[in-house]
Chains A and B, each alone.
Chain A
Amino acid sequence: MKLYLLALRNFLYTELEYRSNVVGLILMELLGLGSVLFIFGDAFRNQETIAGYSRSDLLNYYLFMPVIGFMTQVKLSDALGYQIKDGKISHLLLKPLYMSGWHLMKILGSKLVLLSICLPLYAIILWFASSTGIDMPLLSLQGILGTLLVVIGAFALHYCLEYMISGLAFFMDDVWALEHFKNIVIGVLGGLSFPLAFLPGAWQVVFEILPFKFLYYTPLLYVIGKRDIQSIAGDLLGLGFWMIVFVGLAKLVWSLGLRKYGAYGN
């Protein structure tokens, strides 16, 4: 455990060196947010609700999306994929620790830096939004704890998914594409573009079964009060199930991949 904590400390220092990128990230999130807010701001001039969402529901859905994203987002497959492809993970394989644990510490390090800078800045933005007349959601203590549990579960699920995807780099050359395909899938199936309630009924059933809704859609429903706190047990169970699936798949991909790994790159 001490080894992992040391790794976490080192990664924290490394991440702190590149703070300017965090500011860039916030700018990008705000620009993306503005883009959809202008569209829906206009749409609500002509109608009261859209797919059961009132103006403030939808504004809050998009306003809190970056907050959920800061917590659940994991970017690993791009960098690790290239390391695998270039045969640069050999030194990590020799270390007395698990590769998955090492990378988890790396992700946690960047996450802590990101959250410590982004959340206070974003809190100011939320305060500004509430001062312009947007009704902010009110959460009970149970609601906050429940949402946090789902968010932590979503982060863990996303990490397992990314670790599994990274392992695919053992078998292919164009590893850069993996992250893009994941982004597209999450963009459509995870509620990143719009709430899944906007979809026709039959599509909703399919999208609800898949695990990607946990990454944005489900936590956001808890935040804006569109999902009852009683549903938390079912959601955590679902998260647990999909984590087992992805952990299993990641183990399979990595054990097959490591047999193929030649340390000379491909």
Chain B
Amino acid sequence: MEPMGIRKYLAIFRIYTKVSLMMAMEYRSSFFVELAVELGYTAWFVFFYLVLFDNISAIGGWTKYEVLFLAGLSLVIMELLVGFVFVWGTRILPEKIKDGDIDYVLLKPIHPLFSLTMGRPYLSALITTIPGFVMMYIAWRELQLLVSVQQIMGSIFLSICGLIIGYCLLAIPALLTFVFENAQLLPRVGFSIVDYATRPHTIFAGVWKFVVMTFVPIAFIASVPSEILLKGMSIHMLIQGSVICCLFVYLTVWLWNTMARRYSSAGS
């Protein structure tokens, strides 16, 4: 069988999204309840930062509106990860492995990891990316930012890398459930790690700074892309971010190949 290109995967993903949209429209009341829950979590997130900045003037050298911009970008990326990967993907993977429910996926002519983690987008989360864009807009306006095209392109490129790194950080702990069967909280541990992306990376010092820039590169999910836009272009960060992104994709695929061999199909 010929290996499928990225265009084919995009076409399949479009079909997944279309099916999810049809389902959401069929059960409209559920869709609006999901939306209310997502908006509730967003309101909590925003409230935390508002109260925080009532009491302090800066976090890690970032002012209120700089942090608001970061919070907005991280909200967009987090909601994309929640919507496309977490809710109907990595979160329920332990249960599927325990019940021996992934046989059918393994037979499909697409990468099983793609199908298992992104096969059913949760569209309510995608709508709650809107408050994130609003927060970025307000912050940009208040900061009266003037940015170069290179900064914008660099920031968008690193945000895409950040999204991919976030995907890998969600997938890696979830894949460990092939070993620790029914460890249903492992995917949530991954989510808790990715949640650090909402903080400026400059709050980390010493060994922690090294960790968040390399082994657990949460800094590249939203903080570094925001920094490029807010504080200036850094070629070094662009290179480091893209190299780390490639390494994490390789690591995730390798982990899948290693872990999937442990799958017995019988359930437990």
Contact = CB atoms under 8 A, between A and B. Distances in A.
Nearest to A185: B40
A24 B185 contact: yes
A25 interface: yes
B55 interface: yes
A173 B40 contact: no
A124 interface: no
A198 B184 contact: no
A116 interface: no
Interface in B176-215: 180, 182-186, 188-189, 192-193, 195-196, 199, 202-204, 208
B259 interface: no
A174 interface: yes
Contact of B55 (A27, A174, A198): A198
B188 A24 contact: yes
A47 B193 CA distance: 28
A228 interface: no
B24 interface: no
Contact of B48 (A20, A43, A193): A193
Contact of B34 (A20, A177, A200): A177
A46 interface: yes
B29 A35 contact: no
Given A39-B52, A173-B29, A25 B185 contact: yes
B26 interface: no
A194 B45 CA distance: 12
Contacts of B196: 31, 34-35
Interface string B28-69: 011001101100110110011001101111111000000000
B59 A39 contact: yes
A50 interface: yes
Contact of B203 (A25, A39, A180, A200): A39
Contacts of A194: 48, 51-52
B180 A20 contact: yes
Given A31-B189, A35-B195, A198-B51, A187 B33 contact: no
B182 A184 contact: no
A39 B199 contact: yes
A188 B44 CA distance: 6
A76 to B, nearest CB: 17
A265 interface: no
CB-based closest 8 A-B pairs:
A24-B185, A31-B192, A42-B203, A174-B33, A184-B40, A20-B183, A180-B37, A43-B56
